[in-house]
Amino acid sequence: MSVFNQEKLLFTPTNPLPNAVPTIFAFPNEYTVGITSLGYQVVWATLAMRNDLDVARLFTDLHESLPREPELVGFSLSWELDYINILNLLEFLEIPTSTQDRGDDHPLVFGGGTVLTANPEPFADFFDVVLLGDGEDLLTNFLDSYQQVRTADRATKLFHLAQVPGIYIPSLYEVIYAAKDGVITAINPVDSRVPAQVEKQTYRGNTLSTSTVVTEKAAWENIYMVEVVRSCPEMCRFCLASYLTLPFRTANLQESLIPAIDQGLTVTNRLGLLGASVTQHPEFAELLHHLSHPKYADIRLSIASVRTNTVTEQLATTLSKLQTTSITIAVESGSENVRRIVNKKLSNEEIVQAAINAKAGGLKSLKLYGMVGIPGEEAEDLEATMAMMTGLKKAAPGLKLTLGCSTFVPKSHTPFQWFGVNSQAEKRLKLLEKKLKSQGISFRPESYNWSVIQALISRGDRRLTPLLKLTREYGDSLGSFRRAFKELRGQLPPLDYYVHENWNLETILPWHHLRGAIPIATLKKHLDSSGVSL
């Protein structure tokens, strides 16, 4: 039996019309990874329910029957380094990897997802069309607009699509630099018909995303996912998940959440509740009460990161009954000073109480997310993190504690986008690891080298295109990126400029022409409120 035949669909694909647009929708990774992406699932279902499209799926390891002459090829990009697989798949489809090499006989290549919405510029040469923001309305508007110019030449199609809010056509904008390796001096549309700025689109409804397919071949086997909230009201100053996706929205409990859950549980007993801050749904207690009904007794519940001060004993008890053994909270640091800098409204007492409540409610483990290298962080702040972890161990003996720790990476459209990566972060990760392991506390650091690459791409501009292509040949290690920078010296700024340098507030950022949820003047005010200067 094929992998696709093992899928349990929660929607009904339509029968395409005879003249339907032949379309390929790709995920630049293996099937087991791609089919676990809720965003990919939802977009695929949206395409498959349109009778004016004939859509086939493509992954790096397998694919459905592909059209010989597709008109549209789409990618969902949720991890930066998957760009390598985008290039591989384009070559597999015999499509030029560069937009400037495509003609009227080639399909339009479009892309969406968090990575591209945040900063598409390093990948601008790969995509004819980028969809900025939430797909609920944007995808439909894109496809309807394409149908209007389906038979036109490529240039006409692109100019027409550029008029649709949220649709970004990179080739219709010119980036001007002070020098090949200098700062950006201007980003201008190439034609008066093209808008000077493209605004990210925001879906404001209260019916959020749910799984459209369940399969045992997914990375999270047989899981049915429900998006409980979108964005986060806390607005931590480094957080892309909050700032890029504002405003905070919640799924309607009675009208959408509970019916969606009941539908999913007809095909599986594994339920995943997703969102940046799930327990801040105003009716989360009512949702848990509903799930405590005997008819849900055999479900396995997985829950995304929860807000620390919502971890009550009752919450932990209910989760334990639903076969949840662990929860995750993001504390960022054990230092109240650092949490103040990032606007994390959380006290040490609340963190300790969360651990006590988790254990009292029957949970077996508690995972905390932290970060090093946050702007304004000092040595004593690391000591505070170590003290917090040892304090938690004493307060809740027997509860397995894990601190997952990453390096601060500046993200576009956030108040900390002007800061670089702290070059001392790697040493700080190693120090925390040494100290905490000696206390018997599990410490899971995220790769510092990966953080450097992530920062490069998150702050990168179009000059990275040849570098990304070179790195693809060398391999996706930090050493390969350094080698590519050395080879292209003089053609773009050095690695340190993109990764470690603090940028002046008046710098024209690579995404200057792309408008996020918050105006740049407001981001500057939020930065000023942090008390940390560049």
Residue 304 pLDDT > 90: no
Say if residue 110's pLDDT is above 70: yes
Residues 308-333 have a mean pLDDT of: 92
Q: Using CA atoms, how far apart are residues 45 and 234, in angstroms rounded to an integer?
A: 32
Which residues lie closer than 8 Å to 115 by C-beta, 6 or more apart?
Answer: 77, 78, 79, 80, 123, 457
Least confident of 145-149, 286-290, 388-392: 286-290
Average pLDDT over residues 488-510: 97
State the pLDDT confidence band at 475, using cuts at 50, 70 and 90: confident
Burial class (CB in 10 A: 0-12, 13-18, 19+), 308: buried
More confident residue, 388 or 476: 388
- The letter for the amino acid at 369 is Y
Which superfamily does CATH assign the domain made up of 4-199 to?
Answer: Cobalamin-binding domain (3.40.50.280)
**What's the pLDDT tens digit per position in 431-441?**
999 999 999 89
Give CATH superfamily name and number for 222-446.
Aldolase class I (3.20.20.70)
Other beta carbons within 10 angstroms of residue 155's beta carbon come to 11
pLDDT in tens, 434-472: 999 999 899 999 999 999 999 999 999 999 999 999 999
Give the torsion sign (CA, 328, 332, 337, 342).
Answer: negative
Q: What is the DSSP string of 27-89?
A: -SS-HHHHTT-HHHHHHHHHHHT-TTEEEEEE-SS-B-PPPSS-SEEEEE--SGGGHHHHHHH
pLDDT at res. 1: 67
Mean pLDDT of the chain: 96
* Average pLDDT, integer, range 160-180: 98
Structure tokens at 101: 């090499």
Please report the pLDDT score of residue 44 as a whole number: 98
What are the structure tokens assigned to 440, written together?
Answer: 């018997």
Task: Report pLDDT for 277.
Answer: 87
φ, ψ of residue 115 in degrees (nearest 5): -60, -45
User: Where, residue-wise, is CATH 3.20.20.70 in the chain?
Assistant: 222-446
Do 369 and 410 contact (CB within 8 A), yes or no? no
Find the mean pLDDT for residues 54-63. 98
Q: Going along 165-303, which residue ranges are E strands?
A: 167-168, 173-177, 184-189, 198-199, 213-214, 223-227, 229-230, 249-250, 270-274, 300-303
User: How is residue 157 written in tokens?
Assistant: 């199609």
Q: Which amino acid is at 65?
A: S
Per-residue model confidence (pLDDT) at position 116: 97
**Cβ atoms of residues 274 and 225 within 8 Å:** yes
At 476, the pLDDT band (50, 70, 90 cuts) reads confident
Task: Write out pLDDT tens, residues 249-303.
Answer: 999 999 999 999 999 999 999 999 999 989 999 999 899 889 988 889 899 999 9
The per-residue DSSP string of 343-382 comes to T----HHHHHHHHHHHHHTT--EEEEEEEE--TT--HHHH
Q: What is the mean pLDDT of residues 163-184?
A: 98
Structural contact between residues 488 and 467, judged by C-beta atoms closer than 8 angstroms: yes
**Region(s) of the chain under CATH 3.40.50.280:** 4-199
Q: What's phi and psi for 250, nearest 5 deg?
A: -125, 145
pLDDT band at 305 (very low <50, low <70, confident <90, very high): confident
Q: Average pLDDT in the 169-176 region?
A: 98
pLDDT value, residue 297: 87
Residue 15's pLDDT is: 97
Residue 387 pLDDT: 97
pLDDT digit string, tens, across residues 13-41: 999 999 999 999 999 999 999 999 999 99
pLDDT value for 375? 98
What pairing do the DSSP bridges indicate for beta strands 229-230 and 249-250? antiparallel
Averaged over 349-375, what is the pLDDT? Answer: 97
CB burial string 75-108: b at 16+ within 10 A, e below: bbbbebbbbbbbbebbeebebebebeebeeebbb
Q: Flag whether pLDDT at 204 surpasses 80.
A: yes
pLDDT at 68 over 70: yes
Between CA 163 and CA 170, with CA 167 as vertex, the angle to 5 degrees is: 100
